[in-house]
Amino acid sequence: MAEQTPSKRLKMTGSGPLIGTHNGHFHADEALAVYMLKSLPTYNHSSLVRTRDPNLLSTCHTVVDVGGEYHPAQNRYDHHQRTFTMTFPSRPTKLSSAGLVYLHFGKPIIALQTGLEEGSQEVDILWKKVYEEFIEALDAHDNGISAYDPSETKKIKKRFYDGGIGLGSLVGDLNNNFDDEKGMTPDQAQEAEDQRFLTASSLMGTTFLRKLQYYHRAWLPARTLVHQTYDARKEYDEKGRVMVFSKNCPWKDHLYTLEAEHPDEEKVLFVLYPESEHEGSKWRIQAVSMSKDSFENRQGLPEAWRGVRDDQLSEISGIGGCIFAHASGFIGGNKTKEGALEMARRSVEM
């Protein structure tokens, strides 16, 4: 695409420090990097210049994903130079512009969005967690790094085509389609491209904020409850194979972490929790999967129960109040806590 003239491009400047990134085909990493910067008070009123012209980039206060320079003191955050090897602390993946901006500005962004003190332990925990669970995948995608070791996946074949759907592909879909610019002047084409980039940036930013909100409001508070429930698990099963929560919460991640810290202890096989916090709530029994992302259970509900419901399930199992057992055996339900607990006790001995 033809570059806009400097005079045209500079009309985009506003009252805040000018942010620069490249024009042309855009990706998820710089779309998020720009959004994160603009979420900070310093950049709230900043405008964006999308160009590869070095003269224009030199007028920018902060430049991301272009310019061939990583120099935080000068607010330059590019990762494409051959000498660049920066990674997030204790992580192996080379950073993209998203990771770079998050590395330097993530903690103040988290503090601003959550109301927590920037120097607090909670912000540090969230900073690391959001990187590992969200930002790192964007860094890997932009740097062409597979989530799997190629030497171990040569013989793996997909059972079906998943469309490659992910944030990277959704952002990619916002780029020009064939003949989109037909009949446009270079200025009109650049303006249309810039608008699509802002749409991509909003998509990435909204997703980032929702992830942060989840880890702040749900995942982080759940840590204490999971620790307490893990410590009390032998009250229900002498080998500690059943955990009974007082309320449903994001337990999986914390459970795997606790188990890694206690390698000599029996693994938890089933987790029980009420469907709601209302009195008389029904209860769920859920099998623990082999790993965080696995669909394979350590031990599922008994085969004879699977796909059976209500009175028929109670008759087969010999347990009153049964509601259902999923056909795959990963989850079931009972009208009472006592009934769900009995389902768990029978299941661990199968």
**Tell me: the pLDDT tens digits for 83-120?**
999 999 999 999 999 999 999 999 999 999 999 999 99
- For residue 182, what pLDDT band results from cuts at 50, 70 and 90? confident
Residue 3 pLDDT > 60: no
- Give the position of tokens 């037909």: 182
How much of the chain exceeds pLDDT 90, in percent? 82
Return d(Cα 89, Cα 96) in angstroms, integer.
14
Does residue 228 contact residue 244 with C-beta atoms inside 8 Å? no
Return d(Cα 144, Cα 269) in angstroms, integer.
37
Write out the two tokens for 187: 């200025």
What's the average model confidence in pLDDT over 72-77? 98
Contacts of 248 (CB under 8 A, 6+ apart): 273, 274, 275, 284
Return d(Cα 39, Cα 46) in angstroms, integer.
10
Give 16-56 pLDDT, tens digit per residue: 899 999 999 999 999 999 999 999 999 999 999 999 999 99
What single DSSP character describes residue 50?
A: E
Letter for the amino acid at 216? H
Does residue 298 contact residue 313 with C-beta atoms inside 8 Å? no
Question: Exposure string (b/e) for 97-128, b if CB count within 10 Å is 16 or more?
Answer: bbbbbbbebbbebbbeebebeeeeeebebbbe
> What pLDDT is attached to residue 14?
58
Residue 159 pLDDT > 80: no
- Strands 283-287, 331-334: pairing is antiparallel
Name which of 305, 310, 224 is nearest 270 in CA terms.
305
What's the average model confidence in pLDDT over 139-149? 89
Return d(Cα 48, Cα 193) in angstroms, integer.
13
Write out the two tokens for 318: 């010999």
Write out the two tokens for 263: 């390698």
| Beta-bridge mates of residue 137 | none
Q: Residue 221: is it exposed, middle or buried by C-beta count within 10 angstroms (0-12/13-18/19+)?
A: exposed
Write out the two tokens for 150: 């190629």
Averaged pLDDT of the chain: 92
What's the average model confidence in pLDDT over 307-325? 97
Contacts of 218 (CB under 8 A, 6+ apart): 249, 250
Residue 186 pLDDT > 80: yes
Note the pTM of the prediction, 2 decimals: 0.81
Letter for the amino acid at 268? V
Letter for the amino acid at 242? V
285 SS3 class: strand
- Give the position of tokens 């925990």: 125
Question: Exposure string (b/e) for 24-51, b if CB count within 10 Å is 16 or more?
Answer: eebbbbbbbbbbbbbbeeebeebbbbbb
Q: Residue 326: is it exposed, middle or buried by C-beta count within 10 angstroms (0-12/13-18/19+)?
A: middle
> Considering just the CA atoms, what is the radius of gyration of the chain in Å?
26
> What pLDDT is attached to residue 1?
35
Give 232-285 pLDDT, tens digit per residue: 999 999 999 999 999 999 999 999 999 999 999 999 999 999 999 898 999 999
- For residue 180, what pLDDT band results from cuts at 50, 70 and 90? confident
